[in-house]
Amino acid sequence: MEFKALMIIALGAIFINNFVFSRFLGICPYIGVSRQLDSAVGMGAAVVFVMTLASAVTWLIYEYLLAPSPANIFFRFFALTEPPDLTFLRTIAFILVIASLVQFVEMVIQKVSPSLYSSLGIYLPLITTNCAILGAAILNIDEQYTFIESVVHGLAAGVGFTLALILMAGIRERLELAEIPRSLQGIPIAFIMAGLMAMAFLGFSGLKLGM
């Protein structure tokens, strides 16, 4: 049962509610970094990694620091009469956590694996302002996911984003050779391609995921 629920969340985040094609999250890097397959793979891997980590950390922060739940740390250790409601600090706390997390991951990768750093490093700073990361964190809270569900959702959403990015990069590499009207070259044709792919992804909405 538990596993089935997780599968539904994962497949839903990859195909039905794909971050790029249906939720419109992470469009800037999607258009910006999809020119070449290599960079698309690099960016995708960085996003999957950070998104999974950010989902876990932001969920913990929300549950134990911000939400007015009995588990709230301020409530437990500072002898307050009732759990404080700090949910209004969600946006500010999440974006700071994500920014520091990205910085931290960058430092760790640089120390541990210089070769990985040289391939992923340039994409990491771009991730802070990638709305897909903050979007995933906020969605986890809005959908009232548990900790495990949040992590799975973050991971799957990252995979869905990577899928979209790689598909697009594959097509754009070929588009280089195609004859396109001059006005549509570059970003406009990328958007039109994305529109066609979004149509294809609409087909997934017919999937009946054990509901």
Partner 1 sequence: MKDIVKLGLTLMVITVLAAAGLAAVYSVTKPRIDAQRQMETERALTVALPQADPESIQAVKDGEEVRYYQLVDDDSQVVAYAFVARGTGYSSVIETMVGVDTSGRVIGMKVLSQTETPGLGTKVEEIRYGETDPWFQRQFIDKPAGDLAVKADGGEIVSITGATISSRALANSVIGGYKKLIKEIQSDSSGLALKSEAQ
Partner 2 sequence: MSAWKEFSKGFYKQNPVFKQALGLCPTLAVTSSVENGLGMGLAATFVLICSNVLISLIRKGVPNKIRIPVYIVVIATFVTLVDLAMAGFMPDLHKSLGIFVPLIVVNCIILGRAEAFAGKNNVGLSLLDGLGMGFGFTAALCLLGAIREVMGNGSLMGFPVLSASFEPVLIMILPPGAFLTIGFVLGFFNWLENRKDAKR
> Which spans of this chain sit near partner 2 (rule: CB under 8 A)?
21-28, 31-32, 88-92, 95-96, 99, 128-131, 134-135, 138-139, 142, 181-185, 187-192, 194-196, 198-199, 202
- Please say which residue, 81 or 115, places its beta carbon nearer to partner 1: 81
- Indicate whether 177 belongs to the interface with partner 1 (CB under 8 A): no
Query: What is the rounded CA–CA span in Å between residue 193 and residue 169?
Result: 11
- Indicate whether 17 belongs to the interface with partner 1 (CB under 8 A): yes
Question: Interface residues for partner 1 in 93-112 (CB under 8 A)?
Answer: 96
- Please say which residue, 16 or 155, places its beta carbon nearer to partner 1: 16
Helices (H), the chain: 2-11, 27-32, 37-61, 73-77, 90-112, 114-120, 124-127, 131-142, 147-175, 187-202
How crowded is residue 203: how many other Cβ atoms within 10 Å of its Cβ?
Answer: 9
- Please say which residue, 96 or 108, places its beta carbon nearer to partner 1: 96
Q: What is the closest distance, in whole angstroms, from the C-beta atom of residue 66 to partner 2 in the complex?
A: 12
How crowded is residue 206: how many other Cβ atoms within 10 Å of its Cβ?
Answer: 7
**AA letter at 51:** M
Instruction: Pick from 143, 187, 188, 199 the residue near partner 1 by CB under 8 A.
Output: 143
The interface partner of residue 119, options being partner 2, partner 1, none and the CB cut-off 5 to 8 Å by kind, is none
Q: What is the closest distance, in whole angstroms, from the C-beta atom of residue 160 to partner 1 in the complex?
A: 14
The interface partner of residue 198, options being partner 2, partner 1, none and the CB cut-off 5 to 8 Å by kind, is partner 2
Burial 185-201 (b: 16+ CB within 10 A, else e): eeeebbeebbeebeeeb
Q: What is the closest distance, in whole angstroms, from the C-beta atom of residue 74 to partner 1 in the complex?
A: 13
Question: Interface residues for partner 1 in 25-84 (CB under 8 A)?
Answer: none
The interface partner of residue 7, options being partner 1, partner 2, none and the CB cut-off 5 to 8 Å by kind, is none
Query: What is the rounded CA–CA span in Å between residue 83 and residue 65?
Result: 10
Query: What is the rounded CA–CA span in Å between residue 67 and residue 88?
Result: 9
Burial 80-116 (b: 16+ CB within 10 A, else e): eeebeeeeeebeebbbebbbebbeebbeebeeeeeee
The residues that touch partner 1, with contacts defined as CB under 8 A, are 17, 22, 88-89, 92, 96, 143, 205-206, 211
